[in-house]
Amino acid sequence: MENPLQLKCLNHISLVCRSVEKSVDFYQNILGFFPVKRPGSFNFSGAWLFNYGIGIHLLQSDNPDSMPKIGGINPKNNHISFQCESMALLEKKLKELNIEYVTSDVEEGGIRVDQLFFHDPNGYMIELCNCDILPVTPLPVDSIQSSCSLTNRNVRRQRQQEQQVQLQ
């Protein structure tokens, strides 16, 4: 597989926060990240945390009241996923902490992956799972194209309709 940009790994994710302090507490005490030095040249509030080979950069929102309201837990929304060792222990701990969560599972080829979803203090979705038991199987190039064919067909149809409207 090609690596045209010579990427090595995920370095960090940045999250805009209602409260950097509450977010640091959550990522440190719930997810096990630890604070690391942040460049002093930044002229905005924030914090950097690190663990599991990735960084989380928390940025204080300029207008926390304008941030989207925290909605229901929907596993199909954007989320950050972490692998865990024991789903049962994890679920027990979240219950003790009174953190609302939703469970789900995925089955493929006789392998069942357990998933657990919840929000951080800003409404960002967190998934914890035992996803590492599911093999990563690259798809052949032709199957990638065919999996996109419905989308491509719909895009072509929409473009044709737009062209017809422009001609009228």
Which residues participate in catalysis according to the annotation? 127
Q: Tokens standing for 82?
A: 């972490």
Instruction: Please enumerate in sequence order all residues whose Cβ is within 8 A of that of 7, keeping only pairs 6 or more positions apart, or say none.
Output: none
| Spatial separation of the C-alpha atoms in residues 156 and 49, rounded to whole Å | 45
- List % helix, strand, coil for the chain (3-state, nearest 5): 30, 30, 40
In contact, 25 and 35? CB cutoff 8 Å: no
Give burial (CB, 10 Å; 0-12/13-18/19+) of 136: exposed
